Chains A and B, each alone.
Chain A
């Protein structure tokens, strides 16, 4: 399975806000780089690229070196639109004439499929031109699921609306690209909490219905850690009861803490099971990394991903 995922050429990563999808994207890039691949790490229209935290560098629309084997790119709307227009109309003068028109720019930004087609097209572009930059893998840190699902399903919406024309032709290409199960994989990042799991399931099913895309494993991030074995729970409870007020504060707190951390852990494991059962696909668990901060987190997650995959 690890083979499958790392054999892909495009990994699209999404998740609800706050699940750590950017960290997981960086971690995947680090992991691939460690396996000797050259990676392009793409973010979509970020005013504050997440790669800034991990690499101390904020890339532009041009692939920029972030580390030895990782380049970064920030797919900003204006540049992505420029790209789309130049690919459709080969005359540069004409393209810049369209782009100069503020009304058009604004209008296209607010028009739902125009924006999504333009972004998706840029991802497609970076994959097609990967060889020129010697990239073996493109990792895309997609927007949060609320925006990513409409982004990836845009082709279906275009199909529904039009039966001819250039937009339809482009949408077909993009659809074919996304549906190429050998090349492209979508990864959801979720927390092991009830709400997060419910939201992940909903988004996952919605996307699956819209595009025949290949799904990678769901990454369950920040899985709570408990050191207490299940069979020790009754003994610890008994100690807590027996000691009552006779215990020191530290002992009472430690007993109570271990029990509650165990409860949280079990609840999380149940949520992971629910995720596995409902989606019928593999789940990768990444435990909570309490001890690391800043750029360390992505590195730690990438170690854990390597073990898990």
Chain B
């Protein structure tokens, strides 16, 4: 936060080393992340976009069939103004593989490695994508950052309602592997003692351990015990990572970008994200308000959509227009109403961010972003073409 705060999205894209996109689901976070990565590369910065989105949204948007766990180069067809484009890479996390890779990297020897990889608890933990994807994002971030192969990393986070869980992930993993928990689980002598009934020697830990045995079964605890035993050798590695990732996220080269939409139902969640960022002392760069409904013209009045001049124009072509007149009127009214609700949402969001960051707006696109062409359209809306500067003028009013 020691750098001057960003005044615009361009500023963010050209000055930061890490941009973390956060926000609720369904607002186009992944495609915005991709468009930002594209812009940075266009401006000559070597860029990596990382996503955990399992839906291949990023792969689609970048025109790739699949993106694996490794950095994949994105080819953008030659265009004018894009001659100086730097290398753009994308990576999609497959949590299971990343977890395995991680184990291989941090285990001291083959035996420990195999023991962990074959432990049933481990296998379930790594399979339960919902809980491990956050760890993996942090893990890949750690490596990408340390490799120093990129000028900018754009990280797309999972759309968790329990916001920013992922930021806590390394910390949570470290906590899960907390020394105390492990030590506590690895007191076979205590456990032995309690089974022979020498209660007076039992520690609290042993009592609780035994009770948990009743609740979850001794077999479960034994597996866990094994799991922790095998993990013991590597916990310091995790803890060290957790510290480093925390430092990366709070580096003055890092900014968070809040990607949101103006729909009333999502405003509360967006506010929640902002509060969480503030609480954690993470630097908010600005806000991209996506999917803004616009209506370029207003209906004539509450009762009439078209005025005499409009009707005269229709008449010049013929009389068939009466058959679709009502449809046109209703469509226009609906759009107008949507744009008013959108406008109110935008106002609320702008008040929310106040002077704490820039606001960029993107109108709702008619076509979904499913390929590079779509991404280029989004890129144009975000950075610099006529439409987006109009939008931004609106924003500053």
Contact = CB atoms under 8 A, between A and B. Distances in A.
B314 A166 contact: no
B212 interface: yes
B110 interface: no
A197 B158 CA distance: 18
5 contacts: A46-B161, A110-B131, A194-B370, A250-B310, A297-B265
A56 B320 CA distance: 50
Given A195-B368, A202-B55, A250-B306, 17 more contacts: A16-B25, A17-B159, A48-B268, A104-B208, A106-B181, A110-B131, A146-B54, A161-B121, A162-B220, A167-B220, A191-B26, A195-B55, A195-B57, A228-B324, A228-B328, A235-B320, A253-B296
Interface string B168-200: 000010011010110010000000000000000
Contacts of A164: 217, 219
A170 B218 CA distance: 14
A161 B272 CA distance: 38
Interface stretch (B86-94, B140-148, B334-342): B334-342
A293 B26 contact: no
Given A47-B162, A249-B297, A111 B224 contact: yes
B303 interface: no
Contacts of A263: 366
A290 B341 contact: yes
A103 interface: yes
B128 interface: yes
Contacts of A167: 215-217, 220
B212 A98 contact: yes
Interface string B316-332: 11001101101111111
Interface string A39-63: 0000001111000010000000000
Contacts of B337: 290-291
A230 B300 CA distance: 26
A46 B160 CA distance: 12
The 7 closest A-B pairs by CB, nearest first: A18-B26, A17-B25, A165-B217, A18-B25, A227-B327, A110-B176, A227-B330
Contacts of B330: 227
Interface of A: 16-20, 23, 45-48, 53, 84-85, 88-89, 94, 97-98, 101, 103-104, 106-107, 110-114, 143-144, 146-147, 149-150, 157, 160-168, 191, 193-196, 198-199, 202, 225-229, 232, 235-236, 238-239, 242-243, 246-251, 253-255, 257-258, 260-261, 263-264, 290-291, 293-294, 297
Interface in B110-150: 120-121, 124-125, 127-131
Contact of B297 (A16, A157, A250, A290): A250
Contact of A257 (B125, B217, B306, B335): B335
B347 interface: no
Contacts of B323: 232, 235
B55 A261 contact: no
A243 B316 contact: yes
Contacts of B208: 97-98, 101, 104
A53 B268 contact: yes
B324 to A, nearest CB: 4
B107 interface: no
Contacts of A88: 214-215
B26 A19 contact: yes
Contacts of A101: 204, 208
B211 interface: yes
Interface of B is mostly: helix
B104 interface: no
A257 B175 contact: no
B207 interface: yes
B27 interface: yes
B320 A264 contact: no
A53 B268 CA distance: 9
A20 B161 CA distance: 12
Contacts of A112: 124-125, 128, 131
A103 to B, nearest CB: 5
B217 A168 contact: yes
Contact of A243 (B223, B313, B327): B313
Given A101-B208, A157-B124, A243 B328 contact: no
Nearest to B344: A293
A257 B299 CA distance: 13
Contacts of A107: 176, 178, 181
A12 B338 CA distance: 31
A41 to B, nearest CB: 17
Nearest to A239: B317
Nearest to A85: B215
B130 A254 contact: no
Interface string B202-244: 0010011001101111111001100000000000000000000
A15 B338 CA distance: 24
A104 B212 contact: yes
A254 B217 contact: no
B384 interface: no
Contacts of A89: 211, 214-215
A290 B364 CA distance: 14
A94 B211 contact: yes
A257 B339 CA distance: 13
Contacts of A113: 124
A17 B128 contact: no
B390 to A, nearest CB: 15
Nearest to B337: A290
A288 to B, nearest CB: 8
Nearest to B211: A98
A24 to B, nearest CB: 12
A291 B181 CA distance: 53
A294 B264 contact: yes
A104 to B, nearest CB: 6
A57 to B, nearest CB: 15
A133 B332 CA distance: 49
B6 interface: no
Contact of B317 (A198, A242, A261, A290): A242
B76 interface: no
Contacts of B211: 89, 94, 97-98
Contact of A290 (B160, B161, B326, B338): B338
Nearest to B345: A293
